[in-house]
Structure formats: C-alpha cells, structure tokens
Amino acid sequence: MAATTDQDSPRRPSVSDRMRHAPVESGLGMRPVRVDDAGIALRAPLTPGTRDATGRVVPLLVAMLADSGIGYLVFSAAKLVAGAPTVDLRIDQVGPASPAATAVTAELTLLHLDDRIGLGRAEVRDDTGTLVAHAVATMALTGVPERPGGLADPGSGLSGAAPAGDDAERSDPADFRAHVLPFDPDRLRPENLHTEPGAGGEPEVVFTPGASATNLNGTTHGAVLAGLGQAAQSLFLTRRGPGPPAPGARPLSISVDYLRPAQVDVVLRARTEQVRDGRRFWTLRTELVLPDGRPAVRITGNGIWG
C-alpha cells in the first residue's frame, strides 16, 4: 500500500511540521529530503553523540530514523490522528560509516498496512553511499490514542495540551511539544550514564527520560528506549576490559520488544545479563524496568568477538 504524499491533505501536518516540534528528532538534526508515494527519506548529521569510537552509527540514531520515518508512513497512510505505538524494532548494524562521512540518510518504505498493524523498512547509508544499518519496525494501529499526547500521564505535564475529537485533526498534533527543549543524544553515551548497585549487587543503569524524550503520544520515544538499552549493553561490555566497548566486541544486531509505555518522568532501571558468552559470539539481554518492577522494554543484543 503506497503512502500518501506530504502535501496531499491540507488538514494534516507535513513530516517537516511534525519534526519541527518533535524534541528527539530535532535534537538529532533530522530532516526530510524526500516525501512521495514510494516512501520518504530522512537525513541526519553524524556527530560525536551519534557515532561511536569505532565509527559505527549508534542505534539511537538508526532507531530514530526508522521509528520516526516508518511512523510517519503509517500515520499518513492510515490517516491517524496520533502516533501508532511501536511493537517491535530490529536493527542490523552492517558496519561503520566511512571516515569521510558527515551524515546518514534513511530510505523508508511501508511494506504492509491493514486495520491492525503497519510494517516498514529502513535502509541507512552514509553520504558516501556506504550501507551502515538496516531496520524493520512493526506498529500497532489498535493502540493509537484518540488524540496526540493521549498516552501521557496526567502528572507528566504533557497531557491535556492537545485537543480531542474533530479539533485534533484540524490542529497540528505536535503542538503540545512545541515548548519542549530538543533531546541531547550525549545523554545516552555510555560514559555519561549513571549506575547504581542492583538487588544482586550488579551495576544497573538508572535513567529518567525527561520531557525532551517525549513522542507524539506523550510517552518516552521508543528510539530513546532502544538507545538506552544499547548504551547499557555497551557499558556492560566495557566492564570486561578497557575501552568502550570491550576489545573485539562488535555489535551485530539489536531486537527491541516494547511491552508497555514508559512515562517521561519515571525512573527506569536498565538491567543487563549475559545470555551467551562463546568464543566467537555473545548475546546480551537488557530490561528497562519501571518503578513498579514491570519491564517496559526488552532489548536483545547480538555480537561477535574480533
């Protein structure tokens, strides 16, 4: 099913309008460079906050390009009022960006849409043409709130700012985020994460998303949660030896399962365990746990030793 174009409905905000008020997208410098019936292309600059020491593009940026771009295709094609919650996201990290690269571009395609789910694909290349990552995301249309910001908790300061019903379609659904400062990707650099001892004595990453991490539904953006999980895993690998990440540890893929929304004002604890530790391959599993003990997101990372 083809997506509608950026200009086909004067009552619906364009992708540029949505990103102008979106704090995570604007914080990463994302902008659309193509919007047509075949899909969209989004571009973002490479910065120290979105490129690690090995030259690889951090999953936060890949997740953001995929989640935001596929989300827009689903939003537009399904003629939604608010955002479709992401069910799962898989990122394959192909390789590092070219040393000469200054930006990456994601080509996004809507693969499937019915009355319950939307499925899309992102292919991410740097500005020299090098393929750096591939991602696939599934979104649930059955969980779309009745208005923008509708999943936010009343105490978060983000709920109630957007109109409901017919007024919501006539308004810009990103308006309720217009006062929020852009998200700083440096917050998710492994060396900037705060840790505390967990129940078993192992260090756990402790992170409060904050208003700048909000999505169109008023909860924490799924890309920020994916980036937090990967950063926590990088920190876990660092403890095996000097340097971020541990010597010879090459991430290959992450799979993110979104189990329930995480409000922007809650404290999340990232708990990582080693699932496989072989001579050639490793697998880590990280849960982002809510204050009530329930997991909000489960991230599985796979990699290879050099």
- pLDDT of residue 295 exceeding 50: yes
Is residue 172 domain-resident? no
Is residue 213 domain-resident? yes
Which among 204, 247, 248, 252 has a CA at the least distance from the CA of 228?
204
pLDDT for res 11 = 42
pLDDT for res 3 = 37
pLDDT for res 247 = 55
- pLDDT of residue 17 exceeding 50: yes
Q: For residues 121 and 3, give the distance between their C-alpha atoms in angstroms, rounded to a whole number.
A: 13
Is residue 167 domain-resident? no
pLDDT for res 158 = 59
In this structure, of 10-14, 38-42, 194-198, 226-230, the range with the lowest mean pLDDT score is 10-14
pLDDT for res 5 = 41
pLDDT, tens digit, for every residue of 240-282?
A: 644 455 556 788 999 999 999 999 999 999 999 999 887 789 9
pLDDT, tens digit, for every residue of 176-230?
A: 887 889 999 999 998 899 999 888 778 899 999 999 999 989 999 999 999 999 9
- pLDDT of residue 60 exceeding 70: yes
- Enclosing domain of residue 108: 15-149+184-305
Contact 53, 41 (CB under 8 A): no
Is residue 92 domain-resident? yes
Is residue 57 domain-resident? yes
Which among 83, 96, 80 has a CA at the least distance from the CA of 24?
83
Is residue 171 domain-resident? no
Of all residues in the chain, what percent are helix, strand and coil, respectively (each to 5)? 25, 35, 40
In this structure, of 6-10, 36-40, 215-219, 254-258, the range with the lowest mean pLDDT score is 6-10
CATH number, residue 278: 2.40.160.210
Is residue 163 domain-resident? no
Q: Please count the other Cβ atoms lying within 10 Å of the Cβ belonging to residue 90.
A: 16
Which among 219, 107, 102 has a CA at the least distance from the CA of 152?
219
Is residue 72 domain-resident? yes
- pLDDT of residue 306 exceeding 90: no
pLDDT for res 170 = 38
Looking at the 3D structure of the chain, how many domains does it have?
1
